[in-house]
Amino acid sequence: MGVETYDIVIVGAGPVGLCLSTCLARWGYKVKHIDNRSEPTATGRADGIQPRSLDLLRNMGLKRKIMEWEPAKVYEVAFWDPSAKGIHRTGTWASCPKFIDARYPFTTLLHQGLIERTFIGDIEKHGGEVQRPWTITGFKNDGKDKKYPVEVNLAHVDGTMEETVRAKYLFSGEGARSFVRDQLGVKMVYKDPIAHVWGVMDGVVRTNFPDIKMKCTIHSDAGSIMIIPRENNMVRFYIQVASSTDKDWDPRKSTSAEEVQERAKQIFKPYSISWDRVEWYSVYPIGQGIAERYTLDERIFMGGDACHTHSPKAGQGMNTAFLDAVNFAWKIHHVESGWAPRSLLSTYESERKLIAESLLDFDARYAKLFSARIPSAGEVAGASSAKEMEGDNEFIKTFKASCEFTSGYGVAYKPNAINWGPEHAAQHRLILAYEHGTSQRTGRIMTPATVTRVVDANVVHLEQEIPLNGSYRLFIFAGSLSTSEKALKDLATHMSAPTSFFSTFSYEDLAQKDRYHERHNPHSAFLSLAIIFSAPRSAIHIDDPKQLPQPFSRYADHVYADDVWDQRVPEAKAAAHAKMGLDEEKGGVVVVRPDGYVGVVVGLEEGVGTGEALDMWFSGVTGRKLGGERAIL
Amino acid sequence: MGVETYDIVIVGAGPVGLCLSTCLARWGYKVKHIDNRSEPTATGRADGIQPRSLDLLRNMGLKRKIMEWEPAKVYEVAFWDPSAKGIHRTGTWASCPKFIDARYPFTTLLHQGLIERTFIGDIEKHGGEVQRPWTITGFKNDGKDKKYPVEVNLAHVDGTMEETVRAKYLFSGEGARSFVRDQLGVKMVYKDPIAHVWGVMDGVVRTNFPDIKMKCTIHSDAGSIMIIPRENNMVRFYIQVASSTDKDWDPRKSTSAEEVQERAKQIFKPYSISWDRVEWYSVYPIGQGIAERYTLDERIFMGGDACHTHSPKAGQGMNTAFLDAVNFAWKIHHVESGWAPRSLLSTYESERKLIAESLLDFDARYAKLFSARIPSAGEVAGASSAKEMEGDNEFIKTFKASCEFTSGYGVAYKPNAINWGPEHAAQHRLILAYEHGTSQRTGRIMTPATVTRVVDANVVHLEQEIPLNGSYRLFIFAGSLSTSEKALKDLATHMSAPTSFFSTFSYEDLAQKDRYHERHNPHSAFLSLAIIFSAPRSAIHIDDPKQLPQPFSRYADHVYADDVWDQRVPEAKAAAHAKMGLDEEKGGVVVVRPDGYVGVVVGLEEGVGTGEALDMWFSGVTGRKLGGERAIL
């Protein structure tokens, strides 16, 4: 009897491992997931979910479960500085200002253990589990089995049991102390020579300080504190205990909870503060490190804190972990499904490492910003669009970048095989570049938009209509019914051709298997599609083949009326079209990657052009020759 | 040993019984709750939650749990009529049009069993339970125990166990066949001589009919159908099997599921339809009946279907039951807490019976409306406010009333001791009548408004900020900081007097018990209060005693900035003030009953007037002489 085989072995059930496991369990992969702790996180650790991550969690159907724990929501950050009589408030910032078009413009604060439980519940619902307390004791990509090239040795932490399995992939989500990373000999590179020792204390307090339910940065002559509110009257205090810039710098410097409370009392003057209880207290040194590599062989991967460690102040750790996981998940899904060449896997490191690097850079700038002057409410409120913020004012620029970064919307993947750019293999006159026919930027999230679903007249969030199902998303903004009727029909005809990007990836059992109730993937798991008309709902008839030719008619559940007024584009007749920067009459096609980032935008016109451009794009993405004679590769 | 005693015995765990039990369990009452079924509803029965009921469920913290079942949401109703080639769509209506200012302008469709499970989960969380399968075998208000005057005899349905208990109250939520009602000899009065036999079928269908996910009324030469979509691709069909207007009228007429399906196929032409499975099918006669009395002795009460039966088409049954329950719950809570005279209990029947009568009247009008012409989209869309709808057009009038009624916002309690009116004992020049200084109408729900919570800068729904905690709600719209500073201070001073409506109901152990983390009821369970300033959040300082004098400073968690723009009052500087019809500078006080209905509106001005008016009002409500020498009773 051979050893047990798995699609993947995931080590570590923190945010990155759990998010990865959740995706793969939903998409039908066989996962071995272990964690060396007996239970999910009981106290402490991360607690901030950024606006972009909340989008993602909603897309996974987990937002409601998260919200059921009644987390704190941070809409603003308050700044307190020293004055003659103690501290006083010098200003507040929106944590996700209006110039960012976020569906949820706030940070959600919830204990990491509750977030982990939400994921675990979902994994179990899909038949998976986390095996605890088990650890990894060895692994090698020995290729002895071509299909399952990686051998992984696992053991119960008490040493009483051992198990050896083979897998297609091994993923380390072990956190900062990664056995896998050590074994691979991958070094952490410490970018910034400045290191810090932080004290962090979670507890329930009593105080007359008016901003105790806000995120606050308090500078006083007695020291500095950052406050983060949480569920159940809990408050987190961050206090910097030591810095490598101190004269007596000692990375092992520690301090007791009582000392921290005493310091806090001094810092809080003239306000009083006391603790009902302390749930968790820890002191730890933080280095701003990044792993040299995320993978050496594209079989054994790492993500989350195993790849990047940084200051907790900006609340980015867990959020970066989620995005690492989803970025990795869909790529192995597409490679394993035969929809992409193995080279797609190399974009995991190139995309995510750059983000980690930006995060570290940002961390330094953020610290600087915190000691700088606060912009007035007028300056911030006046900057109602990202464009207006692009003035000369250096401070405002940094501020804007910071907000985008901390909200998660600053993530911008560079042009590569899956994010179109001027160097991409697909070059077609109908491919629309940023600010040339579209406001959508490749490598960035699609702008949110509210529309009316035709089939049931529900007012919905378009960007959430296709769940995180591992599929590419084709948002066909079809313009007005009269103007684009032929263009849509021509695209439908083009897509129906057997060599098209659409037909090529059809289910092999399309004719045999009953998929009547399948809304998102009736033809193929490779892509989902949505069609948005610039028309009132009552004018759209899903049973009219002139409006909705085959194969679009099969996507009747994903037909939308762009007839909901939007405050951001008050003059627009079709707000969703307008927000995408597309012509309201002619429309256009926005292709979104399975993780929500825009891949390419293509103009919609009569004839074969639109189909050609999409075939070219998907040829580049999938490594297939699509579109028959028309394909250029 | 004496018999076990309870505050209340509730018979029946359908919507009315469960909603009542949930409220009372939260407020600390000892409840004996029985149901003669072994399990919650497995199939069939009600499934529509109206917009107003969703407000209520959210106020109880149950909306998220309901939404987790992924119910269908009905935003529009489509009308189909016969044509030469079969049926064709003649129009659609919003099910809750824009002229109704609803937070959730849709009907939520979910199987009654899932709704029951949501309530049961909440009851269990609060330490209660439903005892099954037990039934009531007898009861009498013999007054043998003054505190627990009602004896109730209970038995296991299989007769193996019996139990006799005593209670302060007995409530029948038994449904149309009420043992309690029969025993009391209370008659059902059948208002409308026309009776109907309905066939109802829940199932999963396949069809090319484009509106299968909408609520539809289909008239064809082959008969009439109403379609209601539900969770999990389920669809409910209502087919009228017989009517007392038929020549061969037979209230026992039946028809098989297959016959109904065959009829549906004929009605659907030119569209096709078939069933994957039928979950539930039933044929039952419906009489439009109403109980003569809801209580005889104000100890033994009835509610829900035990008091009113009607056609299921308008989806009102469960919603009326919820409102019966909440209306009853807070009244016994206030009487038992000593905050109201026993005469308050008489308003349960007078308020709720009138609503049931309106429901029956409405049912008849609704039927008429369904056979009348459909208003054009222009007529409906053009009527953007309730006022504009008040034209001469009879149809539009009926339409407006119907929408208000079906959404639940048409519920209007008449002036009585707890809904101010010109005949009320409290008469004071500062009491504002509808359209004389306020847009709020007593006996109606407070208009929803979005504001910013000062303490954490969260953007919140004001009407939801005080949960269903059984307390009166004082919404103090405080106008602008400069204009109203003294008026607010004077009100605070007035309230601090020991004889005021505020101080009179303070906790007896106010000084002894630690309530630091109590947000809603720090001083008293009798009322909660919220203060809304017509000012930007950054201008409001909860630690400034000039802005927030004692006792208001203790309600810092309930201080709001009226600084969120609202599409309904686009010109307003302070949208919430504007929506209440209050002066944006001077403000006013809206007193809301524990069930969400406006009790009285009082102007806010310097001096003793505002406090006096509130004392007068609460004197009437509580039967106490409040305000010392100032009180007029």
Please give the single-letter amino acid code of residue A44.
G
Mean residue pLDDT of chain A comes to: 91
Q: Domain spanning B5-69+111-186+290-352 has what CATH number?
A: 3.50.50.60
From the list B213, B536, B567, the residue facing A455 with the nearest CB is: B213
Minimal C-alpha gap between A470 and chain B (Å): 21
> Does B161 contact chain A (CB < 8 Å)?
no
Q: Domain spanning A4-69+110-189+289-356 has what CATH number?
A: 3.50.50.60
pLDDT at A198: 80
Render pLDDT for A460-519 as a digit per residue (tens, 0 to 9): 999 999 999 999 999 999 999 999 999 999 999 999 999 999 999 999 999 999 999 999
What residue of A is the nearest CA neighbor of B567?
Answer: A567
Cα–Cα distance list, B187 to A136, B11, B119 (Å): 74, 19, 30
Closest alpha carbon to B268 in B237, B229, B222, B233? B222
> Does A70 contact chain B (CB < 8 Å)?
no
- Over 50: is that where the pLDDT of A232 sits? yes
- 3-class DSSP state for residue B60? coil
Render pLDDT for B108-137 as a digit per residue (tens, 0 to 9): 999 999 999 999 999 999 999 999 999 999
Class of domain B450-630: alpha beta
pLDDT at B84: 83
The CA-to-CA distance between both ends of chain A, in Å, stands at 45
pLDDT at B377: 46
What residue of A is the nearest CA neighbor of B544?
Answer: A210
Considering Cα of A535, then A540, then A545, then A551, what sign does the dihedral take? positive
By the 8 A CB rule, do B546 and B539 touch?
Answer: no
Q: Quick check: A206 and B516 CB within 8 A?
A: yes
pLDDT at A248: 83
Residues of chain B with pLDDT under 50: 372-379, 382-392, 631-633
Report whether the peptide linkage leading into residue B149 is cis, meaning its omega lies within 30 degrees of zero: no
**How far is B95 from B214, CA to CA, in rounded Å?**
10
Q: Quick check: B538 and A92 CB within 8 A?
A: yes
pLDDT at A385: 45
From the list A75, A457, A458, the residue facing B458 with the nearest CB is: A75
pLDDT at A166: 98
Q: What are the structure tokens assigned to A261, written together?
A: 């409370």
- Percent over 90 (pLDDT), chain A: 76
> Does A457 contact chain B (CB < 8 Å)?
yes
At A168, the pLDDT band (50, 70, 90 cuts) reads very high
pLDDT at A250: 80
> Does B220 contact chain A (CB < 8 Å)?
no
Q: What's chain A's length in residues?
A: 633
Closest alpha carbon to B323 in B118, B57, B95, B101? B57
- 3-class DSSP state for residue A129? coil
pLDDT at A115: 95
Q: What's chain B's length in residues?
A: 633
Q: What is the dihedral of CA A270, A276, A281, A287, to 10 degrees?
A: -40
**How far is A162 from A154, CA to CA, in rounded Å?**
6
From the list B214, B455, B543, the residue facing A457 with the nearest CB is: B214
Contact list in B for residue A541 (CB cut-off 8 A) is 210
What residue of B is the nearest CA neighbor of A76?
Answer: B457
**How far is B227 from B315, CA to CA, in rounded Å?**
12
> Does B458 contact chain A (CB < 8 Å)?
yes
Minimal C-alpha gap between B65 and chain A (Å): 8
Q: Quick check: B214 and A455 CB within 8 A?
A: yes
Place of tokens 């004197």: B619
**How far is A544 from A563, CA to CA, in rounded Å?**
19
Contact list in A for residue B76 (CB cut-off 8 A) is 457
**How far is A292 from B95, CA to CA, in rounded Å?**
58
- Over 70: is that where the pLDDT of A449 sits? yes
pLDDT at B540: 97
Render pLDDT for A374-413 as a digit per residue (tens, 0 to 9): 444 444 554 444 444 444 456 666 767 788 888 889 889 9
**How far is B541 from B537, CA to CA, in rounded Å?**
8
Non-local (6+) Cβ contacts of B342 within 8 A are B298, B335
Average pLDDT on A21-35 reads 97
From the list B64, B206, B517, the residue facing A68 with the nearest CB is: B64
**How far is B120 from B132, CA to CA, in rounded Å?**
12
Neighbours of A60 (CB within 10 A): 21
pLDDT at B309: 84
Minimal C-alpha gap between B298 and chain A (Å): 39
pLDDT at A194: 65
pLDDT at A223: 83
> Does B427 contact chain A (CB < 8 Å)?
no
* ipTM summary value: 0.92
pLDDT at A386: 45
**How far is B81 from B87, CA to CA, in rounded Å?**
5
**How far is A100 from A385, CA to CA, in rounded Å?**
7
Neighbours of A514 (CB within 10 A): 8
pLDDT at A270: 94
Average pLDDT on A568-594 reads 97
**How far is A102 from A392, CA to CA, in rounded Å?**
25
What residue of A is the nearest CA neighbor of B519?
Answer: A233
pLDDT at A132: 97
CATH 3.30.9.10 matches B72-109+193-286? yes
Mapping DSSP onto H, E and C, the string for B337-360 reads CCCCCHHHHHHHHHHHHHHHHHHH
Q: Quick check: A517 and B204 CB within 8 A?
A: yes
Q: What are the structure tokens assigned to B121, written together?
A: 């989960």
Contact list in B for residue A538 (CB cut-off 8 A) is 92, 377
Task: Supply angle C-alpha A146, A147, A149, rounded to 5.
Answer: 60
List the single best residue of A450, A456, A558, A564 to mutate versus B (max B Cβ within 10 A). Answer: A456
pLDDT at B323: 96
Q: Which of residues 522-541 of B touch A (CB under 8 A)?
A: 536, 538, 541
Closest alpha carbon to A45 in A221, A284, A208? A284
pLDDT at A374: 46
Q: What are the structure tokens assigned to B381, written together?
A: 């869309």
Q: What are the structure tokens assigned to B10, written together?
A: 């509730």
Q: What is the dihedral of CA B368, B372, B377, B382, to 10 degrees?
A: -60
Same fold, B5-69+111-186+290-352 and B72-109+193-286: no
Q: What is the dihedral of CA A238, A243, A247, A249, to 10 degrees?
A: 100
Closest alpha carbon to A211 in A109, A91, A108, A112? A91
Domain residue extents for chain A: 4-69+110-189+289-356, 196-286, 367-407, 450-630
CATH architecture of A196-286: 2-Layer Sandwich (3.30)
By the 8 A CB rule, do B426 and B613 touch?
Answer: yes
Task: Count Cβ neighbours within 10 Å for each residue of A18-51 and write b for 16 or more, e otherwise.
Answer: bbbbbbbbbbebebbbbbbbeebbeebbbbbbbb
Contact list in A for residue B69 (CB cut-off 8 A) is none
By the 8 A CB rule, do A8 and A32 touch?
Answer: yes
Please give the single-letter amino acid code of residue A184.
L
DSSP state string for B169-236: EEEE---SS-HHHHHHTPPEEE--S--EEEEEEEEEEEE--TTTTSEEEEEETTEEEEEEE-STTEEE
Place of tokens 């505002």: B610
Average pLDDT on A79-105 reads 89
Please indicate, yes or no, whether the overall pTM of this predicted structure exceeds 0.95: no
Place of tokens 């029965």: B45
Non-local (6+) Cβ contacts of A309 within 8 A are A176, A188, A286, A287, A288, A289
- 3-class DSSP state for residue A424? coil
- Percent over 70 (pLDDT), chain A: 92
Per DSSP, what are the bridge partners of residue A135? A155
**How far is B484 from B533, CA to CA, in rounded Å?**
9
